[in-house]
Amino acid sequence: MTETSLNNSIDPKISGEIIPSSFLSRLFFGMAILTLGLMALGSSTRVMNAGLSCPDWPLCYGELLPKQQMNLQVFLEWFHRLIASLLGLFMIGLTGLTWGWRSHLSKWVPIATTLCLGLIVFQGILGGLTVTQLLRFDIVTAHLATGLLFFSSMLVLGSSLMPYRGTCVIDRLPWLSSMAGGLVFLQNILGGLVASQWAVHQCLAGAQRCQVMYNHFLGVLPPTLAVFTLVILVWRTPALHPRLRFLGQLAMGLLILQVLVGISTLRLHLQVVGLTVAHQAIGASLLGTLVVFSVIALRDRYQAEYAQPIQTVPIPIASFLEPS
């Protein structure tokens, strides 16, 4: 990596021209926030039993706006589809921007953005199948998993393009945060399986699907230990970049909040819609925090490996002893 390319990934201005990396970074983060809101809306749709309120797809009762059938449940499903469609349109525009500015960006950025566009198209297909296949649990879970992958991809792109100058003090944080993020992702999928099969309701009502619920409970332990270990290492790492230290503290706070909300949701038998939706949203937020932490930590290590240390050339002592 040359010195110029390293500076381009850190400074928003090079040679008097504004590099679009910072602007695109904000757009990717904006897409991630919109995706998080869409997943929360999808969770609300499921909890309110509105997943099949529009019996057809992609229209709703054969119309773009079903005014006659409109009620709260129909609105939730219709609005969820509307936001998903807007997200797809925004992604098309964002992909066009990366290809238009490809001369100012690393070669992988337009390619990765195009792959993310394909991911959101696949997500839309899964969304249609959830309706046509009458909320089949494996399709619903795959729909959630694809949404989490797209959400994480937007954060990876945003974190990779934003200006950042590390402290080159990183230790084992990148691989530990990546492992914690992977475990949190799997736990989110287990939670999706519990939700798509209504395992908690069935277990509490008639001792059915209890194993699915117990797997989710046991799955809490590995990501909890991983995040806790990460936070301890963050606290014990001197001269760590303040952004990484903040993300580590945020991850711990979200983990504690997620556990408390999960316990409250179970004790209340999932009767409080807001708590159930918050449980999934906090889990996705924890995943996003770890993803951003991992990317920034990897950038910090990359900058440390390619830093140009000042080299001193030793002068032989004998040279001072030689007569001039």
Q: Do 34 and 89 reside in the same domain of the chain?
A: yes
| 155 in the same domain as 25 | yes
Q: How far apart are alpha carbons 153 and 229 in whole angstroms?
A: 25
Residue 6, domain member (yes or no):
no
Q: How many CB atoms lie within 10 A of CB 263?
A: 11
pLDDT at 54: 94
The pLDDT, as a whole number, for residue 19 is 61
Flag whether 44 is in a domain. Answer: yes
Whether residue 2 lies inside any domain: the answer is no
In a domain, 7, yes or no: no
Secondary structure letter of residue 309 according to DSSP: P
Spatial separation of the C-alpha atoms in residues 89 and 162, rounded to whole Å: 23
Report the C-alpha gap between 145 and 140 in whole angstroms: 9
Residue 90 shares a structural domain with residue 29: yes
Per-residue pLDDT at 10: 39
Q: Could you tell me the mean pLDDT of each successive run of 10 residues in the chain, 324 residues long?
A: 41 46 95 97 91 92 93 95 96 96 93 97 95 92 96 98 87 92 96 88 80 89 96 92 95 96 85 88 97 95 66 42 46
List strand residue ranges (DSSP E) for the chain, in order. 13-14, 17-18
At 258 the pLDDT is 95
Same domain, 189 and 295: yes
Residues 87 and 100 in one domain: yes
Q: Which residues of 6-33 are buried (b: 16+ CB within 10 A; e: fewer)?
A: bebbeeeeeeeeebbbeebbebbbebbe
Q: Label residue 81 exposed, middle or buried (CB < 10 Å: 0-12, 13-18, 19+).
A: buried
Q: What is the pLDDT of residue 210?
A: 87
Q: What is the length of the chain?
A: 324
pTM of the model: 0.88
Is residue 128 in a domain?
yes
Q: What's the burial of 311, exposed, middle or buried (CB within 10 Å: 0-12/13-18/19+)?
A: exposed
Residues 6+ away with beta carbon under 8 Å from 25? 157, 158, 159, 160, 161, 162
Domain with 230, as residue range(s), is 167-306
295 found inside a domain: yes
| Within-domain flag for 313 | no
Q: How far is CA 92 from CA 28, 63, 152, 248, 250, in A?
A: 12, 24, 18, 33, 32
Same domain, 39 and 121: yes
Q: What is the pLDDT of residue 223?
A: 95
Helices (H), 197-272: 199-206, 210-218, 221-236, 242-267
Residue 29 lies in a domain: yes
